[in-house]
A and B are shown apart, each in its own frame.
Chain A
Amino acid sequence: MERPNTIEAERLVREFKKGPRAVDGIDLRVEPGEIYGFLGPNGAGKSTTVLMLTTLLPPTAGTARVAGYDVVREGPDVRATIGAALQEAALDGLLTGREHLRLQATLQGLPRAERPARADELLERVGLMEAADRKVRGYSGGMKRRLDLALALVHRPRVLFLDEPTTGLDPQSRAALWTEVGRLAREEGVTVFLTTQYLEEADVLADRVGIIDHGRIVAEGTPAELKAQVGRPTVEAMPADERIADVLARFGEPVPSAKGVAVRLAGDADLTAIVRALDAKGLLVDNLQLHQPTLDDVFLAKTGRSLEGAGDEEEAASRGLAMQPAA
């Protein structure tokens, strides 16, 4: 009987000799068919976690199981269950896309007769049919990512790990990848563990999000739950007019606004009720906006920093003098 394709980790730790505690006691539970978004800035410990869960890096402490198999003691079983596209899309620039797929199919032990058809099927699926016989050296970043995804799928894995699959991609490639990942989870029941630095990606794609910073999970839940934790949406109206402010005040508590007036909505108030109230008073507004809290607000609330640029600042600081010209 097949084991349920879950991912579990308990107090998972990874320490590097000359480095920080890259992963500092992580607990995880990802359900079968779920898309789990692992969101955090550069250097937060996302890749290190993925490497441990995919058996490529032994943990310093703690345990992890994929589909019930222990990543340390039952490595071969874990590897047979999973597919992974790691952060550096490790492709061979001198081989073609099709050659990559054939190689992967052989190494994964697919029967010889199935290999060409499987290669074609996957090339078709990730939209690389036309480029299949070109050397990967000439592929764009998006094409490389899609080939990497196809390679991860060759042996029909039930758990998929994607480490920053859309970093550096243009919006179209990103959307295409989202569609494909969503389809895998919804239609084929594949469990997906996806890391990202992008709020939007976690928000749109993930069923559940874990926010990681400095090797620790600082918040976890569905995107809606997480946003609810930091607060209710705000409504902002322009121009700054006292009568408008009075109407708004009935729906929540006033908050500062640069160009107009704003309130944080209380209870189950919504935009239509506000519009009706303003209309009833005969008030004209130029602009009325509902601001939903974003995952960035969540990150800000939990760490005191904004996600965008949080990792880059640290990287720049640690590189420091090495960047100075040698002159």
Chain B
Amino acid sequence: MSDAADQIFVLARRSVVRTSRQPAQWIAPLVFPMLLLAVNSGGLKAVTHLPGFPTDSYVAFALAVPFIQGALFATMNAGTELARDIQTGFLNRLALTPLRGAALLAGHLGGVVALGLVQACFYLAVGLAVGVRPASGVGGVAVLLVFAALIALAFGSLGTWAALRTGSAESVQSLFPVFFVFLFLSSMAIPRNLIQQAWFRDVANANPVSYLLECVRSLIITGWNGEALGLGFGVVAAVGVGALALSARALPQRLAR
């Protein structure tokens, strides 16, 4: 292995090791989305009786939500961990080594993606256990996992950028409500065409999170759907490329070397 690959690997491993040693950091992203899934699939089961609802299993419909909540956790995890490194001076320690900025970002995000994948597999396993059968089959599950990894990468980069800009874990955490708002003002609970209030439908139409959800949802409940996949992967790519570019620009200033 080359030096750079070695460096990326040890940094990614550090981030995974750190998370695994803080139970709250990995239990919460596994348990909370499942709890919400349980609550909502119980409470909103009746909604499947609405004319035009795409499936008669609300769990299958709602299973897309945890994957997007995973993005939120990726953002928070990536952001607060890096911000903490800035606050404690650990980043200075890294800055004094021959480590390149790109390798630092790759290692940091590598850990985030690894955790994102673990989460996604867990959500999927729970879904299978309660009887959800992805309509797109094994190939669809593979695509779903790739999508989950990309979501973790894209949103992890967003959190990374926030940490680099603000340098404070508290500031990064104050972003949490913003993502929360995006998630709730989307097609999270009900398909867009069944939203009654016109203004809410407009908001959900304009909200990119709707397309992330619908991409996952299409793989689970309707099978292969080119439009949904295109929009979902398009949104992830746009967020990812934008956030990575911003992070790459902010990093040299933070390293100040």
Contact = CB atoms under 8 A, between A and B. Distances in A.
Chains A and B in contact, CB within 8 Å = yes
Interface of A: 54-58, 75-76, 79-80, 82, 84, 86, 88, 90-92, 94-95, 99, 102-104, 106-109, 112, 135, 151
A102 B10 contact: yes
- Chain B contact surface mostly: helix
Nearest to B22: A94
B17 A80 contact: no
A151 B256 contact: no
A166 B22 CA distance: 30
B102 to A, nearest CB: 14
B49 interface: no
Interface residues of B, number: 23
Contacts of B96: 54-56, 79, 82, 84
B133 interface: no
Interface in B150-169: none
Contact of A107 (B17, B18, B22, B98): B98
Contact of B92 (A75, A86, A107): A86
B89 interface: yes
A60 to B, nearest CB: 13
A57 B17 contact: no
Contacts, number: 68
Contacts of B21: 94, 135
B93 A90 contact: yes
Nearest to A90: B89
Interface of B: 3, 6-7, 10-11, 14, 17-18, 21-22, 88-90, 92-99, 256-257
Contacts of B7: 106-107
Given A79-B257, A86-B89, A94 B97 contact: no
Contact of B88 (A80, A84, A90, A99): A90
Nearest to B95: A56
A88 B91 CA distance: 12
Given A54-B96, A109-B97, 11 more contacts: A56-B96, A82-B96, A90-B92, A92-B18, A92-B90, A99-B17, A102-B10, A106-B7, A107-B7, A107-B97, A108-B97
Contacts of A95: 14, 17-18
A149 to B, nearest CB: 13
B123 to A, nearest CB: 26
A82 B94 CA distance: 13
B10 A106 contact: yes
Contacts of B11: 103, 107
A270 B75 CA distance: 72
A55 B21 CA distance: 33
Contacts of B22: 94
21 contacts: A56-B92, A56-B257, A57-B256, A79-B97, A84-B96, A86-B92, A86-B93, A88-B89, A90-B90, A90-B93, A92-B14, A92-B18, A92-B88, A95-B14, A95-B17, A103-B10, A106-B7, A106-B10, A108-B97, A109-B98, A112-B6
A55 B99 contact: no
